[in-house]
Copies of this chain bind each other. A is one copy, B any other.
Amino acid sequence: MSLHYAIMTALLDGERTGYDLAKQFDVSLGFFWTASHQQIYRALKELSRDGLIEVNEIAQAGKPDKRSYRLTDAGHDALNDWVLKEGNRTPPQRDELFVRLYNLSSANRAELITAVKERATSHADRLALYERIRDRHYSEPARLRGRRRGVYLALLAGIHKEQAGLSWAEAALAYLGAR
């Protein structure tokens, strides 16, 4: 059900179409909760059915109608409840790279080094992106108010995580004797 609440959370910033949400879930909230457009369209239908969001249909010539969604009062209440009550489990971690590393041998060393290098690049890219966002929009954290403080904390978590991943990958490459 978290996807439903993630979508409602994204709607706190204002009306959005399924298409908008699918894009936004590649950015911002999407750094911490990903979802494909297929999932999103389905969830929007369910949320509408349950009265937690409302549609605003905008007819368009030549395109499918644009359907813009906003939170209802019931939606706000449901979201607030969820934030208060939701249990706090650490999500299970599943990462194929480590399963592969458990199989390290001279036969696959080169491929695993490549995989770790790619992982290092992806951490570095993510880190650079997060730092750019922080510098542009969250350069004075002490002045933030309300929700923005929470968004800042999430961003900070992303930064810590990517730094850790990157420094691990570098240490791993050194250990593996990669040039």
Contacts and interface: CB of A to CB of B under 8 A. Distances in A.
A53 interface: no
A155 to B, nearest CB: 9
Contacts of A108: 80, 83-84
A98 B12 contact: no
Copies held by the complex: 2
A104 B79 CA distance: 11
Contacts of A167: 160
A88 B119 CA distance: 8
A14 B1 CA distance: 39
A175 to B, nearest CB: 7
Nearest to A91: B95
A17 B67 CA distance: 52
A120 B115 CA distance: 30
A59 B99 CA distance: 32
A102 B160 contact: no
A56 interface: no
Contact of A165 (B86, B112, B161, B175): B161
Given A160-B164, A175-B149, A86 B80 contact: no
A176 to B, nearest CB: 8
Interface string A106-117: 111001101100
B104 A96 contact: no
19 contacts: A9-B102, A12-B102, A29-B102, A33-B99, A34-B94, A83-B103, A83-B111, A84-B108, A86-B100, A91-B94, A100-B150, A101-B153, A104-B149, A112-B150, A149-B176, A153-B172, A156-B168, A157-B165, A160-B167
